[in-house]
Amino acid sequence: MASSLGWRSFALFHVNHCGVFLKAVRSNGLSLFPWGHSPWRGTGSFLDPEMKAFLEENTEVTSSGSLTPEIQLRLLTPRCKFWWQKADLWPYSEPYWAIYWPGGQALSRYLLDNPDVVKGKSVLDLGSGCGATAIAAKMSGASRILANDIDPIAGMAIILNCELNQLNPFPILTKNILDLEQEKWDLVVLGDMFYDEDLADSLHQWLKNCFWTHRTQVLIGDPGRPQFSGHSIQHQLHKVVEYSLPEPTRRENNGLTTSTVWDFQP
């Protein structure tokens, strides 16, 4: 399995461990959350208090250094102790949700600048991570949102991030949606999800099905990762917009300089 996410200055995790972790989670795909295996609906008050305290203690609220300064997020930053500690001291699965990835940044910027793309529409944010793109969709007037991530801790982080932005949390699904019967969505957004070859293949199949069955619009944000640029999906993409990444994001992402939003049209 080849995974191209560069943790680089993110001192916690070595890049080679990422794919192994994801494969393990994908194989069971079940939520460890108290609200189980169906989309969560409710308010943040149902958050496990211990986990909430852990997340609050070990992340920093920030809105700087990304393409969307209007969205506040709890992220792992150099001011957090785990930024500097050894990976194996982190007690949970690898915190992809604690980084705001360049692909998600581009998508969120695009949705905030072009609310007509989501206004009144149903939107699935697949691989939501910190939830920023789902939050951008909500801010731009989407009528229905589902944030999906196989990491149950991402689900908690998304709830906290909704609250930070004065939004009622939207439904969150921590099951592997690729294994479920496909629902109809007006729009599916995927930020930085093509970082692993096996995952890229599965997503491609799933998205083709989504497009042909429901005529769903699919927008993909990607900063030019090899698993995306070298994938056969390239023949079915139309460039929507390319953003220059802010300096802090460049530093955290091995010198990637731009991130692009693509429209998938098989």
C-beta separation of 158 from 130 below 8 A: yes
Examine residue 128 and tell whether it contacts ligand SAM (CB under 6 A): yes
Examine residue 103 and tell whether it contacts ligand SAM (CB under 6 A): yes
Cα diameter, the chain: 47
Q: For ligand SAM, which is the closer residue by CB, 47 or 126? A: 126
The amino acid present at 72, given as its one-letter code, is Q
Token pair recorded at residue 162: 């909704």
Identify the residue among 58, 59, 122, 148 touching ligand SAM (CB under 6 A).
148
Q: What's the rounded Cα separation, in Å, for the pair 194 and 203?
A: 8
Examine residue 26 and tell whether it contacts ligand SAM (CB under 6 A): yes
Identify the residue among 31, 73, 117, 192 touching ligand SAM (CB under 6 A).
192
Q: What's the rounded Cα separation, in Å, for the pair 140 and 125?
A: 14
Q: What's the rounded Cα separation, in Å, for the pair 31 and 28?
A: 9
Q: Say which residue the tokens 């098989």 belong to.
A: 266
Examine residue 178 and tell whether it contacts ligand SAM (CB under 6 A): yes
Examine residue 23 and tell whether it contacts ligand SAM (CB under 6 A): no
Closest approach of ligand SAM to the CB of residue 194, in Å: 9
Lay out the site mask for ligand SAM across 27-66 (x = CB under 6 A, - = otherwise).
----------------------------------------
**N- to C-terminal Cα distance for the chain?**
25
Which DSSP letter does residue 127 get?
Answer: T
Examine residue 146 and tell whether it contacts ligand SAM (CB under 6 A): no
Q: For ligand SAM, which is the closer residue by CB, 45 or 90? A: 90
Report the DSSP pairing between strands 217-222 and 258-264: antiparallel
Binding site for ligand SAM (CB under 6 A): 5, 22, 26, 96-97, 100-101, 103-104, 126-130, 132-133, 148-151, 154, 176-178, 191-193, 195, 199
